[in-house]
Structure formats: structure tokens, C-alpha cells
Amino acid sequence: MKRIIIAALPGAAVYFVWQMLTWMLIPIHGPTVAALPDEDTIRDALVEQDIESGVYIVPSGNDDEDMMDPESEFVKRHQAGPIFAIYFHKGGLEPMSGSVLGLGFLIDFLGAAIVASTLSCAVSGTCRSYPQRVGFVTGFGVFLALMGHVAYYNWMHFDGFYTAMFVVDVVVGWFLVGLVVAAIIRPPREAAPTD
């Protein structure tokens, strides 16, 4: 465990600094997020509707519409466009507050710790039992959830419920993959402990 923490701290620091560089100095992300031509009009329209913080999609379907029915209004609106999502946070926030930076580093640390754990398991051959192998694969789901969805929750202020549901989706999905893959990928029979 000590080795994992020792590996995770500099790993997190490297990733944290890299993310700062890609958003602030190296023009990687700048072109991926565009400003709206008339931001004030759109902002005012959203504020006027008095909607709650959350994620909104257009077009949105009704419960009685079938996404697979080519004749449904939802499918027609989807085909005609535009299609977009709004990640709406009702209140204002400090753009790079200490809590955002701190949580960002914690997310990076946890991601680096998962990578260090899985690499340790792989190089030492300690993932020999079925539960260990399932955990190994599930770790990738936790890693993906942290570095993708939880990171966006922190840095882009995505909605908490939206984020939680994506985290559950990814982690449970990779756990299920782990159940199958771990049953197939096994250590050599002569060295394998009983599962």
C-alpha cells in the first residue's frame, strides 16, 4: 500500500500539472469549447425560465414517444436538429477556487492510485484469485469514472446527480465485465489458488 501511495502522489502531481498546462498554456482544449455568438440573450432566456441546476437535452422526448419509431415526433426533431445539451448551474461560482483545485488534485491522486494498484497487481502477479481479477478489471471502471465524469463534475460543474448516474453506469459496467473476463483470464493452472 505504501508503494502505491508513493507512486500515486507524483503521478497525480504530473497529471494535475499537465491538465493545467493543456487548459491554460497549450492550445489543446481552447478550440474544443466555443463561445456562443450572443451569450447574453441565451443566458437571459435560461434565467428567465427559472430552471434548476441540471443537464438538459434538445430535442427531448415524451414518455409515450418511442426513440426507435421512425414516425415519432422525437425522431423527426432529432433528425432535423439542432441537437444539444446544456449543463446548467443556476448559481455563480468562483472560477478556480481552492476547493476546485483541491478536489481536482484529489481526483488525480485517486486515479493515479488506481493505476499504481493495477500495475502493482499486474507486475507482481498478485491478482491470482477470481475476486482479485474482478477487482483489477473493476478498477478500470473506477478510474474512468474518476478521470472522466467526476473530473467534469469538479472542473466543468456538471450536475451531481447526472455525474453520479454516469459513475454508477461505468463502475457497474466494468464490474460486470470483470466478472466475465476474470472467469476466462486465469493464471496457469499449476500456480493458481482455488477460486
Segment-wise mean pLDDT, segments of 10 residues, the chain, 195 residues: 84 88 80 84 92 88 70 87 88 86 93 87 82 90 93 87 91 92 78 54
Identify whether residues 119 and 179 lie together within a single domain. yes
In this structure, is residue 157 part of a structural domain? yes
Residue 138 lies in a domain: yes
Does one domain contain both 73 and 155?
no
pLDDT at 57: 86
Phi and psi of 54, rounded to 5°?
Answer: 165, -170
In-domain check, residue 84:
yes
Whether residue 93 lies inside any domain: the answer is no
- Residue 35 domain flag: no
Specify if 128 maps to a domain: yes
Instruction: Please tell me whether residues 102 and 84 are part of one structural domain.
Output: no
Q: What is the pLDDT of residue 143?
A: 93
**φ and ψ at 84, to 5 degrees?**
-160, 165
- Tell me: do 142 and 165 sit in the same domain: yes
Instruction: Verify that 7 and 102 share a domain, yes or no.
Output: yes
Last residue of a domain, one of 88, 109, 138: 88
Instruction: Look at the chain and report how many structural domains it folds into.
Output: 2
Same domain, 76 and 156: no
pLDDT the model gives residue 7: 83
Q: Same structural domain for residues 23 and 102?
A: yes
Shortest CA distance to 182 belongs to which of 145, 132, 116? 132
Domain encompassing residue 118: 2-27+98-184
Q: Whole-model pTM? A: 0.70
Looking at residue 195, what is its pLDDT?
A: 57
The C-alpha cell at 135 is: 477487482
Q: Are 145 and 62 contained in the same domain?
A: no
Q: Report CA torsion sign: 17, 22, 25, 29.
A: negative
**Domain-located, residue 34:** no
